[in-house]
Amino acid sequence: MLADPSTLQLSPEMLLHMPMNGGVNREKGAYQIGAAVPNLLNMYSIQGPGMEPFPGMVALGADPEATPVVHFARFESSLSGQQLLAVTLNTIFQWVTPSWSTIVGGLGAYSSYAPVGVQAVDSSGVECFIYSNLYTDIKIAYEWGASGSGDLAGADGVYRCKAVGYLDSTLFLVDVADFPYNFPGGDRVVTRVRWSDKGDIESYTAANYIDLLADPSPGMAFKSFTGKFGLIWKKRSIYSVVPTGSATEPYRFHVEVKGIGTVAGATVATFGLMCIFLSDGAVYKWNLGGQPEDISGPIKKILFHPVSGINQIYVEKAVGFIDTSRSLYWLSVPLDVQTNPSAVFCYHIPTGRWFMGNATISAFGEYRDSTDDYVVVAGDLTTDAVVEFDPTNYNNQGSGVINHVHSKEWMLPGYNVRNTRLDFEAIGTNVTVAYSIDAGKTWTTIETITLDALEVKQYVCYHDITGNRIRYRFNNNAVDGWFEIFWVNASGMQVVAKQV
């Protein structure tokens, strides 16, 4: 016997999402699909009201090397314009269409963290790329591997460091190890910042250093802003670096943020005066001049779950990147027992919404292709390939992408619910609809519906389900398959007998 809805204590949310009539009521009964991590996989909403697939991944040339890519750099050359560099565990490559060309080797295979390089200018005014991974000598790379590429003179056999930065025609070394590099031990000083002689990144004066002792945690990253100041991220603080013009004290170091830093230097991404980074217990967005804002939202319980969250032993392999073309911050982290990044999250900066994927990304980068189109690239740990993000492609290097969207859950404590009709609006090739009555632990397929790929249309899925809770899943895992979904309405939903 059906319960009388007028006698039930329904919350406003329940009234919104559980229409008691049999028809479609988009104003009251339907809701737009929204971000509900982890109930979305490889789907996001950034250009309109609907959910659409993550961009597909297409290989950019043959694999440069049978080891993971750990860093990308967009190298600006006054001779030939913009170039794309990829750094593997062993080698620095330059993209020379249609293949990768070696410009510096002998980096030394290591695997403890994801390092970050920086573009600089040498004493002759020539652009170069500086790279350090702490465990081998600092490297300098010129375009096309020109003469001079190799170990950085002045620091070779003298200093190694974890991070590098370039400001005021000066190279900065962060978390420094002095020769003979017997670390862990007394030769590595994690609080130390050294800098080169101004105008000569290959010349170092022994007295040019400072120990940032207000925070004894290690230095993690250096970023330069507008060429006028820099920021140094440590694990538990952020310092500013400002040139003074003084010969006796050329740089002023000041703690800008206390208690918040980054646990993975490669997650620090900047755009203008905005910074986003992974910290200990949160993801922060920091608009310079204000205070860091915790933007973790619904992914905090995933990232920092005490059992299945980020693998803290390998957290420094996490990487982040701001995709300016889509206003997204991408974050790739090792979860659970994984020793390499195993899950990717993206944050839509304008709306503050998070989305989740299952790609295994070891590095992110960007460049402009031969047609001047902006392209996001990534290192795919599954194949060690360099891949392009292609929003017109729905596959991952030729294979179908596993994606799904879950509806919200219809339930009323103390009662069973029954639904006989599901309405939704979508576009695409096809979509498989399934239901769960045990909070998503198991799923039963209802049917696969062929969609119109040219026009958004409304579709109806008839069925008869009763349980103490009901949710729906929409997915398409086929090669070249895709769908976008806009709203869902359990239009046949009723409250039935009270649970015994």
Burial of 243 (0-12, 13-18, 19+ CB in 10 A): middle
Shared domain check, 380 and 352: yes
The answer to whether the CB of 274 falls within 8 A of the CB of 286 is yes
Shared domain check, 358 and 409: no
pLDDT for residue 11: 31
Total domains present in the chain: 2
Mean pLDDT score, 375-381? 92
Greatest mean pLDDT range, 143-152, 174-183, 184-193, 466-475: 466-475
Shared domain check, 114 and 45: no
Residue where a domain terminates, one of 366, 399, 432: 399
Pairwise CA distance, residues 172 & 161, whole Å: 9
Peptide bond into 413 cis (omega under 30): no
Q: CA of 12: how far to CAs of 9, 15, 19, 291, 419, in Å?
A: 10, 5, 11, 35, 20
Q: CA of 230: how far to CAs of 166, 182, 478, in Å?
A: 8, 29, 47
Shared domain check, 31 and 18: yes
Give the closest residue to 13 by CA, choosing from 425, 412, 421.
412
pLDDT in tens, 421-479: 999 999 999 999 999 999 889 999 999 999 999 999 999 999 999 999 999 999 998 88
pLDDT for residue 26: 34
Residue where a domain terminates, one of 373, 399, 425: 399
Supply the DSSP symbol for 200: B
Pairwise CA distance, residues 491 & 494, whole Å: 9
The region of weakest confidence among 17-26, 169-178, 320-329, 471-480 is 17-26
Would you state the structure tokens that stand for residue 66, as one six-digit string? 């049978």
pLDDT for residue 52: 82
pLDDT for residue 3: 31
Shared domain check, 423 and 375: no
User: CA torsion angle for 15, 16, 19, 20 (degrees, to 10)?
Assistant: 10
Shared domain check, 113 and 80: yes
Mean pLDDT score, 91-117? 84
Burial of 12 (0-12, 13-18, 19+ CB in 10 A): exposed
Pairwise CA distance, residues 313 & 233, whole Å: 19
pLDDT in tens, 26-84: 333 344 444 444 566 778 877 666 778 888 899 999 888 888 899 999 888 887 788 89
pLDDT at 7 over 70: no
Residues across the chain = 500
Shared domain check, 254 and 118: yes
Strand 99-104, strand 92-96: pairing: antiparallel
Shared domain check, 332 and 270: yes
pLDDT for residue 256: 96
pLDDT for residue 20: 28
How many other CB atoms sit within 10 Å of the CB of residue 115?
Answer: 24
Which contacts (CB < 8 Å, 24+ apart) does range 293-301 have?
Answer: 295/347, 295/352, 297/352, 297/354, 298/35, 298/36, 298/37, 298/354, 299/37, 299/345, 299/354, 299/356
Read off the CATH number of the domain in which 443 is found: 2.60.120
Greatest mean pLDDT range, 6-10, 223-227, 457-461: 457-461
Shared domain check, 371 and 302: yes
Shared domain check, 114 and 173: yes
Residue where a domain terminates, one of 345, 374, 399: 399
Shared domain check, 493 and 369: no
Mean pLDDT score, 394-412? 83
Binned at pLDDT 50, 70 and 90, residue 18 comes out as very low
**For a pLDDT cut of 90, what percent of the chain falls above it?**
57
Shared domain check, 103 and 47: no
Domain region containing 411: 5-54+403-498
272: Cβ–Cβ under 8 A, 6 or more apart, which residues?
Answer: none
Supply the DSSP symbol for 132: -
Give the closest residue to 129 by CA, choosing from 194, 201, 231, 67.
201
Element (H, E) at 301: helix 300-303
User: Which amino acid is located at 472 in the chain?
Assistant: Y
Supply the DSSP symbol for 303: H
Q: CA of 89: how far to CAs of 135, 139, 156, 365, in Å?
A: 11, 13, 19, 16
Read off the CATH number of the domain in which 259 is found: 2.130.10.10
Average pLDDT, the chain: 86
pLDDT at 284 over 50: yes
User: Which amino acid is located at 273 in the chain?
Assistant: L
Element (H, E) at 103: strand 99-104
pLDDT in tens, 134-165: 888 899 999 888 888 999 999 888 888 999 99
User: Which residues face 254 on adjacent strands?
Assistant: 240
Give the closest residue to 221 by CA, choosing from 164, 140, 277.
164
Pairwise CA distance, residues 79 & 146, whole Å: 13
pTM (two decimals): 0.87
The per-residue DSSP string of 1-61 comes to ----GGGS---HHHHHH--SSSS--TTTT-EE----TTSEESEE-SSSSSBEEPPEEEE-S
pLDDT in tens, 311-352: 999 999 999 999 998 999 999 999 999 999 999 999 999 989
